[in-house]
Amino acid sequence: MAISSIAAIREAIGVIESRIGAVRAPLGMILGSGLGGLADQIENPRSLSYSAIPHLPSSSVAGHAGKLVCGTWQGSEVVVLSGRVHCYEGHPLDRVVLPVQLLAGLGVHTVLVTNAAGAVNADYKPGDLMVLSDHINMQAKSPLIGKNDARLGPRFPDMTEAYAKELRELTLRLAAERGLRVHEGIYAAVLGPSYETPAEVRMLQILGADAVGMSTVPEVIAARHMGMRVLGLSCLTNMAAGLSGGTLHHDEVKEVAGAATEGMIGLIAATVRAMPTCEVRESFRAHFEAQLMA
């Protein structure tokens, strides 16, 4: 039988802490395409490649170099997961969400998740950013399928406010102050790896989605299962299929994501500086540690 998530988390944390020392951070980030540069800004970094961490699946996608980096950024202790794995790479979903479960095990209370996405809302433009207000899971899968481990969270986690309202409001306010084009909208997660057809994009519009991508939702479900506070940010790299007249290419996605990096990192930095997290971290870490040891 496959090793349980709790056992995998415990083993992975043991290896991380034996290699880079104790990690204690209130804030975690899972960075998608093009945001690897943020990890390079971390002060006093201690990092470990995903390949050195047991049970962590390694990403096979260009632009998703996999490493865990912890240190100080914008005055806050952070753990950054630079690069993520996707369901379409063929990894079981319980392994796709292991990184976010690791963050919780390391004491992270608030997790920021970024991604690249296609704009489904015709009023958006490539290069715009979107704060996720909610999501629609079109992957027809959940990382929580199977026996529930109550040490991680409840069988039926609430998803009413998957993305924390106070963090969304904070990010939108800071974006407006910086003059950035940022929307608040609904992210639809599809399996991929093929991009959507124009008919699928019209369906997503009818369903109320504003953006579409192939990631994030499994991690957010797992994060909410564990009671973590989530902020989600998309970089809209292209108009979704059928909305621009052209065809879609991963190179274009990477190029637009790269061009938007500076604005996105600036916004994340301002948000982190203004984010009220610190008072909760010790209690959350202690709570999670007790569960892991149970």
Q: Closest distance between ligand HPA and the C-beta of residue 234, in Å?
A: 9
Mark whether 4 is an active-site residue: no
What CA–CA distances, in Å, run from 265 to 43, 131, 193, 250, 288? 15, 14, 26, 21, 29
Q: Closest distance between ligand HPA and the C-beta of residue 175, in Å?
A: 20
Give the contacts of 19 (CB within 8 A, at least 6 positions apart).
Answer: 48, 52
Contact set for ligand HPA, span 1-60 (CB under 6 A): none
Place of tokens 């990382």: 143
Place of tokens 């569960």: 291
* DSSP label at residue 36: H
216 within 8 A of 113, measured Cβ to Cβ: yes
Nearer CB in complex with ligand HPA: 123/279: 123
Q: Closest distance between ligand HPA and the C-beta of residue 255, in Å?
A: 12
Nearer CB in complex with ligand HPA: 106/240: 240
Contact set for ligand HPA, span 87-116 (CB under 6 A): 116
Per rule CB under 6 A, is residue 118 in the interface with ligand HPA?
yes
Whole-number Å distance between alpha carbons of 280 and 172: 23
Q: What does 218-245 look like in DSSP terms, one character per residue?
A: HHHHHHHHTT-EEEEEEEEEEEPTTSSS
Contact set for ligand HPA, span 132-151 (CB under 6 A): none
59 within 8 A of 96, measured Cβ to Cβ: no
Q: Of the listed 4, 11, 47, 88, which one is catalytic?
A: 88
Q: Of the listed 82, 133, 234, 238, which one is catalytic?
A: 238
Q: Closest distance between ligand HPA and the C-beta of residue 205, in Å?
A: 13
Q: Closest distance between ligand HPA and the C-beta of residue 218, in Å?
A: 14
Task: Tell me the H-state helices in 115-207.
Answer: 165-177, 198-207
Give the contacts of 123 (CB within 8 A, at least 6 positions apart).
Answer: none
Mark whether 238 is an active-site residue: yes
Mark whether 214 is an active-site residue: yes
Per-residue contact flags (x/-) with ligand HPA for residues 185 to 214, judged by CB under 6 A: ----------xx---------------xxx
Mark whether 33 is an active-site residue: yes
Instruction: Tell me the β-bridge partners of 211.
Output: 119, 187
Mark whether 88 is an active-site residue: yes
Axis crossing angle, helix 5-20 with helix 281-293, rounded to the nearest 10: 120
Give the contacts of 5 (CB within 8 A, at least 6 positions apart).
Answer: 94, 98, 101, 149, 152
Mark whether 60 is an active-site residue: no
Query: Applying CB under 6 A, what is the total number of residues that bind ligand HPA?
Result: 13
Mark whether 275 is an active-site residue: no
Nearer CB in complex with ligand HPA: 196/219: 196
Residue closest to ligand HPA (Cβ): 118
Per-residue contact flags (x/-) with ligand HPA for residues 155 to 184, judged by CB under 6 A: ------------------------------
Contact residues: ligand HPA, CB under 6 A: 116-118, 195-196, 212-214, 237-238, 240, 248, 253
Catalytic residues: 33, 64, 86, 88-89, 116, 214-215, 238, 250
